[in-house]
Amino acid sequence: MRLIAGGSKGAHYKAGLEIVLDEGWKTYWKIPGDSGIPPTLDGTRSVNVAKMEILWPVPSRIAVGGTYILGYKDAIIFPLLITPKDPTQSVTLDLNTQIGLCSDLCVPLSADISLQIPPGGDRDLVTEMLIDRDLALAPTAASEAFGITNIKHQERDGQPDKLTIATKIPDGYGTKDLFVEGPENWFLPLSKPLLNEDGGLQVFELILDGLPKGGQSKGIKLTFTLTNGEEAVEQSIILEK
């Protein structure tokens, strides 16, 4: 695991946390799935950084025992867009990083890593190509052709509420899937694909389990990530009251 930097995007320097995994090992997306440890990247000790934005490349469902995690095999770069306070001075990117690693067992890993970026950003073109490769896997904004079309919210006596989510996903070369992120301290299960229809319509079911005690689902904002192979879009929707 290391920090890398290369190139710029507007007023931002492009950097990334690169994780290379041995065969059989996995690491997690920002939502780990049925179980696991979501990564945290704390850059508060960095110097000359006004803002650090973390982008999350689209994950895959990976079978682990009888459950599924959301994550990555082999290698992944979590791209970082760094905005310097003073572009004429160098940036010291200093991260406390905590990630989960999973093989037969899941284990936490914590590391403090740092990287100095010169004024104007690092000009390493090879590293920039690596960052851009996984930057292209981060979700973009949803559209009419690729996004949520309808959500049916069903209340059930004595059971968690159920969402039936109709989506429009264009035909592609990979798996069509839906991952849902709730507010902090919510631990939602994975959605379940229900059916495929002509025209790219895919329907998913989500049981609103894993809410904190006393938590209400109506009026809450959920973030939906739809995948079409390596393409993904993100859309936030507030459930109707």
The kind and range of the H/E element at 57 are none
Q: What is the mean pLDDT of each run of 10 residues along the chain (241 residues)?
A: 95 96 95 91 97 96 88 97 97 97 89 96 94 96 94 88 92 87 89 75 90 80 93 93 64
What pLDDT was estimated at residue 198? 59
Q: Classify 132 as helix, strand or coil.
A: helix
What pLDDT was estimated at residue 170? 87
Cβ neighbours, 10 Å, residue 47 = 14
Numbers of helices and strands, H then E, in the chain: 1, 18
What pLDDT was estimated at residue 136? 96
* Residue 176, beta-bridge partner list: 228
Q: How far apart are the first and last CA of the chain?
A: 44
| DSSP code of residue 55 | -
Is residue 178 within 8 Å of residue 188, measured between CB atoms?
Answer: no
* Residue 98, beta-bridge partner list: 40, 110
Domains and CATH numbers, the chain: 2-135 (2.60.40), 140-238 (2.60.40)
Q: What is the pTM of this model?
A: 0.91
Is residue 201 within 8 Å of residue 150, measured between CB atoms?
Answer: no
